[in-house]
Structure 1
Amino acid sequence: MATPVEPPNGIRTEGKHYYSMWQTLFEIDSKYVPIKPIGRGAYGIVCSSVNREINEKVAIKKIQNAFENRVDALRTLRELKLLRHLHHENVIALKDIMMPVHRNSFKDVYLVYELMDTDLHQIIKSSQALSMITASISSFSCSGA
């Protein structure tokens, strides 16, 4: 579950609030209310949330230390560039990118996606029969970490 916590430096930033999930600090925009963590992987931690401005469930992916590794930074940039332009029912939608408060301390990237029922890993592990068409569509419609 998402647990509200104090900011790491003790100073609250306007428009942000702080939660802990899986021993990880999430500094997210106040319009999002985290519900629970839903996935963890090589590229980040994903939690389900609600955008209270429009009462819509979303998934927030936190990519920690996004610029520490050049290859990972380029992968994140590629994901952003592609998803900003792709709008299709079988491709997960990028809803928002949370902007950092201070440019000089910017190290984590927060991406907001539509919330999906499952991810590609779960589909592959399931006993559900996949056709080539189903497999290719599923690979574009999942928001794994």
Structure 2
Amino acid sequence: MSAEAGAASAEGNNIRGILTHGGRYVQYNVYGNLFEVPTKYVPPIRPVGRGAYGIVCAAVNSETREEVAIKKISNAFDNRIDAKRTLREIKLLRHMDHENVHMDILSLPQV
């Protein structure tokens, strides 16, 4: 993916991506929060919603051509209560048996 492709603006949302980590990740600013996702998730990255625990964006997985939702939980492990809530949500999602629920927990590579 070229720098131009990584910086392409999202359809109608003017959300621009910046390549990071040697071009393996793309960083997007959505509602003032940085999303940093592998380059396999291609624009348009568009906001779907936000709530008390995080922001959800839609993207396309370039490997499967499926539209996916990516949830970023801000400050998930800053304190014990938020860490427990985050872990509880992950555990609940792992037990869901639904064709539209897939788990891919993203973490940034160590620098």
TM-score clears 0.5? yes
Greater relative CO (CA pairs within 8 A, separation 6+): 1
Which of the numbers 47, 51, 62 marks the counterpart of 2:61? 51
- Name the residue aligned to 1:120: none
Could you tell me which runs of 5 or more consecutive residues in structure 2 were left unpaired when the two chains were aligned. 1-12
Does structure 2 conserve the Cα–Cα contact (< 8 Å) formed by 1:3 and 1:21? no
Within 2, Cα distance between the matches of 1:24 and 1:81? 25
List per-residue Cα deviations over 1:42-64 (Å, max 9, x = no partner).
Answer: 10011111101000001101111
Within 1, Cα distance between the matches of 2:41 and 2:98? 24
Within 1, Cα distance between the matches of 2:21 and 2:98? 36
Q: Which amino acid aligns with 1:52?
A: S
Shift of 1:95: 3.1
2:3 equivalent to 1:18: no
2:83 equivalent to 1:73: yes
TM-score where L is the length of structure 2 = 0.75
How many residue pairs get aligned? The number is 96
Could you tell me which runs of 5 or more consecutive residues in structure 1 were left unpaired when the two chains were aligned. 7-11, 106-145
Structure 1 residues 70 and 94, CA gap change in structure 2 (3 angstroms):
farther
Q: Secondary structure at the match of 1:96?
A: coil
Q: Select the structure of larger CA radius of gyration.
A: 1
Shift of 1:82: 1.9
Structure 1 residues 72 and 95, CA gap change in structure 2 (3 angstroms):
same
Shift of 1:86: 2.0
- Name the residue aligned to 1:97: 105
Q: Which amino acid aligns with 1:5?
A: I
* Structure-to-structure mapping, 1:1-145, within 5 angstroms: 1=13, 2-5=15-18, 12-14=20-22, 15-34=24-43, 35-88=45-98, 93-102=101-110
Does structure 2 conserve the Cα–Cα contact (< 8 Å) formed by 1:5 and 1:20? no
- Name the residue aligned to 1:113: none
- Name the residue aligned to 2:10: none
Give every structure 1 segment of 4 or more consecutive aligned residues whose post-TM-superposition deviation is greater than 2 Å. Answer: none
- Alignment RMSD, CA only? 2.0
Within 2, Cα distance between the matches of 1:71 and 1:44? 15
